[in-house]
């Protein structure tokens, strides 16, 4: 028996709502990189720890978490204070730091940018509202990328660690970071500490698990996994929940990790 399109949408929404509720829980935190910023209570510490954990988020989750903890330990586990008050000698702690292609050169530039930024601004949120448009965060990500690499003599090698839609990247890691900072519910995973960006403006983070499940559910048709594909997925998720489409990241990712789409 075939369903009509309305029934398909209705069934899909029910299915993904159920799975989002299942995976969006405190149990999700421990084995996910979001556990790293959850160690902190100060807003700025959450922002810095979240950004570092997100930027390092490729490879095995356990390794990502350990490398992020290592990075923050070198900041004396007080990232905001370190950025504001560290001395040149303190930077020697980052000698030999490495996670995949992210090394001490990249680490030192991140520290330099964030240090200068926090000495002028209270929150990293300000860096993401440059160019923000109502439709989605595309221009905000472009603006952040330009701001991040606005310091003189930035290392060219570091550019690959901050993606931008200009290069057609799906920007998975930065979109995940924004989900953490912007989304707010009573489940305790995402922080919801940024108010200038609406959850409706977020773009769904697209890793291999999310992509595999989304394709099986016919939520994306484009063949490459790029920025336009991430937008396509999010636009289709908005049909299910226009106010908070990225909550379905929990459902798609959780289903993918469980092997549902294989």
What single-letter DSSP state applies at residue 185? -
Residue 62, classed as helix, strand or coil, is helix
Per-residue model confidence (pLDDT) at position 236: 97
Indicate whether 5 pLDDT > 60. no
How far is Cα 123 from Cα 117, in angstroms, rounded to an integer?
Answer: 9
170 and 233 belong to one structural domain: no
Domain endpoint, select from 174, 196, 218: 196
224 and 139 belong to one structural domain: no
Six-digit token string for 21? 């509720």
Six-digit token string for 13? 């929404």
174 and 89 belong to one structural domain: yes
Higher model confidence: residue 10 or residue 25? 25
Indicate whether 39 pLDDT > 60. yes
Report the phi/psi class of residue 59: left, alpha or beta, with left for phi > 0 and alpha for psi in -120 to 50. left
Six-digit token string for 22? 């299942």
Contact residues for 222 (Cβ-Cβ < 8 A; gap 6+): 228, 229, 232
pLDDT bin (cut points 50, 70, 90) of residue 1 is: very low
Tokens 């905001």 sit at which residue? 80
Find the domain containing 12 and state its range: 1-28+204-262
192 and 214 belong to one structural domain: no
Residue 131, classed as helix, strand or coil, is coil
Per-residue model confidence (pLDDT) at position 8: 56
Per-residue model confidence (pLDDT) at position 3: 44
245 and 184 belong to one structural domain: no
* Percent of the chain clearing pLDDT 90 (strictly above): 94
168 and 52 belong to one structural domain: yes
């Amino acid at each position: 028996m075939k369903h009509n399109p309305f029934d398909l949408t209705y069934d899909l929404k029910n299915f993904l709502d159920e799975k989002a509720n299942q995976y969006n829980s405190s149990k999700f935190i421990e084995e996910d990189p979001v556990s790293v910023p959850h160690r902190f209570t100060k807003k700025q510490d959450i922002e810095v720890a979240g950004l570092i954990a997100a930027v390092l988020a490729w490879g095995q989750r356990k390794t990502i978490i350990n490398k992020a903890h290592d990075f923050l330990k070198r900041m004396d586990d007080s990232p905001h204070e370190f950025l504001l008050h560290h001395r040149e000698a303190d930077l020697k702690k980052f000698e030999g730091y490495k996670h995949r292609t992210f090394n001490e050169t990249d680490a030192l530039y991140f520290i330099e940018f964030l240090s200068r930024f926090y000495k002028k601004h209270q929150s990293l949120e300000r860096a993401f509202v440059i160019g923000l448009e109502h439709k989605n965060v595309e221009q905000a990500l472009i603006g952040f990328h330009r701001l991040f690499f606005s310091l003189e003599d930035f290392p060219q090698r570091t550019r690959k660690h901050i993606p931008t839609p200009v290069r057609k990247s799906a920007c998975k890691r930065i979109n995940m970071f924004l989900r953490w900072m912007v989304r707010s519910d009573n489940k305790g995973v995402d922080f919801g500490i940024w108010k200038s960006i609406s959850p409706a403006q977020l773009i769904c983070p697209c890793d291999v698990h999310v992509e595999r499940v989304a394709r099986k559910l016919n939520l994306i048709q484009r063949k490459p996994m790029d920025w336009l594909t991430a937008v396509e997925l999010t636009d289709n998720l908005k049909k299910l929940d226009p106010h908070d489409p990225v909550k379905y990241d929990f459902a798609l990712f959780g289903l993918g990790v469980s092997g549902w789409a294989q």
